[in-house]
Structure 1
Amino acid sequence: MRPILPFLLLATATASATVLAADPVPGGGIDAERFARHMRAFTSDAFAGRAPATEGEERTVAYLAEAFREAGLEPAGEDGGWTQRVQLARSEIDGPVSLRLTVGGETHVLTRGEEIAIETLHPAPRVELADVPLVFVGYGVHAPELGWDDYAGLDLAGRIAVVLINDPDFETPEPGLFGGRAITYYGRWSYKYEEAARRGATGVLIVHETAPAAYGWETVRNGRAGPQYDIVRPDADRAHLRIRGWIQRDLAVALFRDAGLDFEALKARAQRQGFRPVPIEGATLSAAFDVKHDRIVSRNVLGVLPGASRPQETVIVSGHWDHFGVGEPDAEGNRIYRGAVDNATALASMIELARVFAAGERPARSLLFFAPTAEESGLLGARHYVANPLRPLETTAAVVNIEMWSPDGPTRDISTWGIGRVSLERDIARAAALDGRVWSQDPNLEAGFFYRADHFAFAQAGVPAITVGPGSDMLDGGVEAGRAARADYFARRYHQPADVFDDSWDLRGPVADVTTVYRLVRDIAESGRWPEWDPDAEFRAEREKSAAARR
């Protein structure tokens, strides 16, 4: 994480400090003991990792509904209840998996979860692929506005594409057409699957490298070990590849070498405009496994604090409730993916925010507390809400999404994910300044967090939206300590059974962060102004379509 420019941030904070009043937070403020009590519940054995369509979901939904009610909210779901139904298609590999890679005349048996991690959302009951040829398509990007096409007219029917993760600019010495190391949507794994499916590919294998992926192999493996979810699609057979997955970098290097190719040289070529696909001669993949398919109904949880004078206008405070449930054991034999930092910290935050808002004077706009399902499966609960909003999106002033507070100690700063190009980033800087803190831009733009949180579903629909996360400039140890703590979390606990709540956690950081969120949300909810996208934001045009509703 790179250092902040504190003198600029402090200048911004000082100049803006008169905009808000640093009144005491109602209800005694954000309470660390209450926060810890909720965390213990959400990460306990009884909640079993909070996977959709499990007993863990039942307990999570019931707990959230009761906690929102006790906090003083009113139900804001369907039919006067606390929930919104989200129908999902669920696919799960059933039984043994056969995977064989042939290259240079030799066949290698691959082990799922070790050299390769696979999944499928294709509706067929069985995947049976025999010697499907492989082709290297660089970063798998088709960006006509940049004059960039890694496919160059290639017919992918009957082939499996091997692609690199992230953007072509990630490792180049100078920023290129993709703006440097700050990832664009073209760098996301989901985009690479979608684009290859549009081109008729049989499958995709993404080459995993820790730095450009922004997480280790354990995260890849664990995320594909259990059931996979998607919205229900009438064209699922065309929308989804027969097989999609990741391979370890070492396997990719060996594959290219045995086919007479140089992985590093081709990777460098793929970073330049004009790259053309390269068949991996003599290399094929065979795969065979059964797939169980069914449809489930999961639920978003919603509670509202009606506004005092403009209740038809809405500010959404969100944080996903789901995690990975019970899965593959870690080295210590732990099988419950408890998701403490990710994202029980947000659930505890929303309950505390609901309590303090309900304890104080009602803001002008309504506050909708929204806990979506299936974020870990591709923001599916949030996408469902955006497609089926329970309050009008055109008069939703903003979405403030919460993700993954740090338990490592308080920081001087608070951060937001990615480059939002939205006035909310300046609003949160003012809110932080009230308590002597600063806002810092996402220090890890290459991780693509802007596209990996529920606010993104709202942003695509034009609603000004951000995800708020912890800062990195720790009171004890500065930026270096904060960087080390976050790196340790992503290496050892993120999407792993080790993400557990500990009573020794230092909750001063989350308390300070949630206090800043309170000040931000109160400012938006009390204000008569509408947050806006900056002129160069890709979502501005979509928002402007509904401008008349906000006049």
Structure 2
Amino acid sequence: MREWRLVLAAALLGSAGGALAAPQFDPQRLSNHVRILGSNAYEGRGVATRAEGKTVDYLVGQFRAAGLQPGGDIVRGKRLWTQAVPLLRSEFTADPQVTVRLPDGRLLPLVQREQIAVRSPMDGSKSLAISSAPLVFVGYGVTAPERGWDDFKDVDVRGKILVLLINDPDFEATGAPLEGQFGGKAMTYYGRWTYKYEEAARRGAAGVMIVHETDPASYGWNTVKNSNTNSMFDIVRDNPRGVHTPFESWIQRNVAKDIFAAAGLDFEAAKAAARRQDFRPIPLNASLTATGTARSSVITSKNVAALLRGKRHPNETLIYSAHWDHLGIGQPDAKGDKIYNGAIDNGTGIAQLIEQARAFAREPRSDRSILFLAVTAEEKGLLGSEYYGNHPLYPLATTVAVLNTDSMGVQGPARDYSISGTARLGLLDELIADGTRQGRRFTADPHPETGGFYRSDHFSMAKVGVPAISFKPGLDLVTGGISRGEAWAKDYTTNMYHQPADEWSPQWDFTGMAQDAALLHSLGKRLANSRLWPNWSNDSEFRAVRDRTAALRR
């Protein structure tokens, strides 16, 4: 314990010898929050379950005890601790029945969770009724005119099932050049499954079958089936069919190989063709029939919002955010465990949020207001943060920045730190400046091909122009270096991520998380007591949205 304290004390000293304006966060308090929220008593913190109420009550209790004010909806003149988030929920009443008719007439049944992971309908339908819809391979399913790329060409795919690849065309590039129209291995939004579903819907397709491969997806089949075969949620939309096809699914790679082979095609050769600009859709001479019954309803989930009102510029707001939800109770793993505890994802981020709020509440009030926002339904597609972005509690134009935490480090202090993805914005410059004063270095996301920028709640805020980052712990651990950090991250992704094994352990070391909380506190305190307005880089896709409201920040 003495060594941990020395590490933290050193980390809190600036490079010029002065101390950062940050408290010393208590690793034990952080651990306790994760232990409680990640326990079986919280049943995996599923949205719209009894565990949601228990989780929300815990958060509100912690924020109230810390001395914060309610920052949520105003109802009958009273400010609440929560923001109501209406969501469409859909779930199958029984496993759907899916069959592919191959070119020679043979029937290939696809078993839910084994060969296929079918999402309950999100297009507003209460049933799944696909009859003999033709299958067509559309490469990566991307239309990107600004990159000179169109996988569809002039082919009409209305009423068809699109078989497509995950990630971007550049992901598996070999030889020179490794970087093509999509900037190399760093995933763009075109590589995300959400985009692929949206593009298919825009083109009137009957459905989508994304071919799962572990490396380009960045997670294994266990993650896919656990995330896509339980209750599905979406924000309530005026036209859900504008972004969802009736049939949305993932299939195992071997299933795809069999379908291609039955059509006289080599799967790997088809993949290689999909990496070229001249690729054209390939009919697979097969068809799909799928049936299933779903029950759907509109439920109301909750974002939790706690506020420290600024003393000089209360209408300007800095946001710290994290998502409180996980997958709840689902299919049992090999050990029979059905509770997807989500201790790291995202009990750790919530623990940081609570202790960050507590630290700021014990200090003199900042000039600007600070909102501590625990959002719902991140695991269902960043829905709580998307709802906030479309229905902000405080004006987006005068929201200074968003500092998001999603899955923090539990292996002790690190010499470095990172953010999800390769965003270009002034907020990152500010973070790096504070990190240098803490005696640490910034390391760019070592795996931008995983599409981390599009997988956390800061992305919802970026889309509406607000400078936003999702902080990531470093991998160059003080004890064990990069090799230990990489080994831990790989093991977590393979054996714990979105699985029941993501449970709190007494062996975890929260001193590195305390170190990271101090860094985030230093940055937030400086922003909250300044006239700084970080912005996106000039070539960022989010710059134009932010600049439209520039006059309101003068």
Taking structure 1 as the reference length, the TM-score comes to 0.95
Separation in 2, partners of 1:435, 1:503:
28
Q: Which residue of 2 aligns with 1:295?
A: 298
Separation in 2, partners of 1:32, 1:261:
56
For residues 249-260 of structure 1, what are the structure 2 equivalents within 5 Å?
249-260=253-264
8 Å Cα contact 1:84-1:299 kept in structure 2: yes
For residues 331-480 of structure 1, what are the structure 2 equivalents within 5 Å?
331-480=334-483
Separation in 1, partners of 2:15, 2:412:
25
Separation in 2, partners of 1:55, 1:250:
39
Q: Which residue of 1 aligns with 2:20?
A: 23
Report the Cα offset of residue 434 of structure 1: 2.3
8 Å Cα contact 2:21-2:522 kept in structure 1: no
Separation in 1, partners of 2:95, 2:359:
52
8 Å Cα contact 1:30-1:511 kept in structure 2: yes
Q: Which residue of 1 aligns with 2:274?
A: 270
Matched, 1:209 2:209: no
8 Å Cα contact 1:462-1:540 kept in structure 2: yes
Q: Which residue of 1 aligns with 2:100?
A: 101
Separation in 1, partners of 2:386, 2:410:
29
Matched, 1:115 2:96: no
Report the Cα offset of residue 433 of structure 1: 1.9
Report the Cα offset of residue 477 of structure 1: 2.0
Letter in 2 for 1:62: D
Separation in 1, partners of 2:278, 2:366:
55
Match for residue 58 of structure 2 among 56, 59, 63 = 63
RMSD between superposed Cα atoms in Å? 1.4
Q: Which residue of 2 aligns with 1:35?
A: 30
Q: Which residue of 2 aligns with 1:10?
A: none
Q: How many residues are paired up?
A: 533
Letter in 1 for 2:434: A
Quote the sequence identity (%): 47
Letter in 2 for 1:81: L
8 Å Cα contact 2:310-2:369 kept in structure 1: yes
Letter in 2 for 1:177: Q
Letter in 1 for 2:279: F
Matched, 1:317 2:320: yes
Separation in 2, partners of 1:336, 1:235:
34
Letter in 1 for 2:287: T
Matched, 1:75 2:70: yes
Moved more, 474-483 or 413-422: 474-483
Q: Which residue of 2 aligns with 1:7?
A: none
Separation in 1, partners of 2:434, 2:95:
54
Separation in 1, partners of 2:526, 2:140:
42
Separation in 2, partners of 1:204, 1:96:
18
SS at match of 1:429: helix
Q: Which residue of 2 aligns with 1:124?
A: 125
For residues 495-510 of structure 1, what are the structure 2 equivalents within 5 Å?
495-510=498-513
Q: Which residue of 2 aligns with 1:54?
A: 49
Separation in 2, partners of 1:400, 1:232:
26
Letter in 2 for 1:362: R
Q: Deviations over 1:126-152 (max 9, x none)?
A: 112222110000000000111211011
Q: Which residue of 1 aligns with 2:146?
A: 145
SS at match of 1:121: coil
Letter in 1 for 2:111: T
SS at match of 2:373: strand
SS at match of 2:251: strand
Match for residue 198 of structure 2 among 194, 201, 207 = 194
Separation in 2, partners of 1:89, 1:17:
51
Evaluate the alpha carbon distance shift between residue 44 and residue 350 of structure 1 in structure 2; reply closer, same or farther with a 3 A threshold. Answer: same
Moved more, 405-414 or 326-335: 405-414
Matched, 1:522 2:530: no
Separation in 2, partners of 1:288, 1:200:
19
Q: Deviations over 1:168-203 (max 9, x none)?
A: 000112100100000000000000000001000000
Report the Cα offset of residue 47 of structure 1: 1.2
Q: Which residue of 2 aligns with 1:170?
A: 171
Separation in 1, partners of 2:362, 2:18:
18
Moved more, 267-276 or 306-315: 306-315
Report the Cα offset of residue 511 of structure 1: 1.0
Report the Cα offset of residue 239 of structure 1: 3.4
Matched, 1:185 2:189: yes
Report the Cα offset of residue 17 of structure 1: 5.3
SS at match of 1:95: coil
Q: Which residue of 1 aligns with 2:233?
A: 229
8 Å Cα contact 1:412-1:471 kept in structure 2: yes
8 Å Cα contact 1:225-1:328 kept in structure 2: no
Report the Cα offset of residue 21 of structure 1: 5.9
Q: Which residue of 1 aligns with 2:333?
A: 330
Separation in 1, partners of 2:274, 2:110:
27
Report the Cα offset of residue 84 of structure 1: 0.3
8 Å Cα contact 1:17-1:430 kept in structure 2: no
8 Å Cα contact 2:15-2:439 kept in structure 1: no
Separation in 2, partners of 1:287, 1:191:
23
For residues 241-252 of structure 1, what are the structure 2 equivalents within 5 Å?
241-252=245-256
Q: Which residue of 2 aligns with 1:6?
A: none
Letter in 2 for 1:74: Q
8 Å Cα contact 1:75-1:302 kept in structure 2: yes
Report the Cα offset of residue 432 of structure 1: 1.6
Q: Which residue of 2 aligns with 1:9?
A: none
Report the Cα offset of residue 94 of structure 1: 1.0
Report the Cα offset of residue 52 of structure 1: 1.1
Separation in 2, partners of 1:447, 1:461:
23
Evaluate the alpha carbon distance shift between residue 238 and residue 425 of structure 1 in structure 2; reply closer, same or farther with a 3 A threshold. Answer: closer
Report the Cα offset of residue 475 of structure 1: 1.2
Report the Cα offset of residue 45 of structure 1: 2.0
Q: Deviations over 1:323-360 (max 9, x none)?
A: 11100010001101111110010111011111111111
Separation in 1, partners of 2:18, 2:389:
33
Separation in 1, partners of 2:262, 2:477:
48
SS at match of 1:247: strand
Separation in 1, partners of 2:239, 2:323:
27
Letter in 2 for 1:85: A
Taking structure 2 as the reference length, the TM-score comes to 0.94
Structure 2 unaligned residues grouped into runs of 5+ = 1-10
Q: Which residue of 2 aligns with 1:92?
A: 91
Separation in 2, partners of 1:506, 1:56:
27
Report the Cα offset of residue 153 of structure 1: 2.1
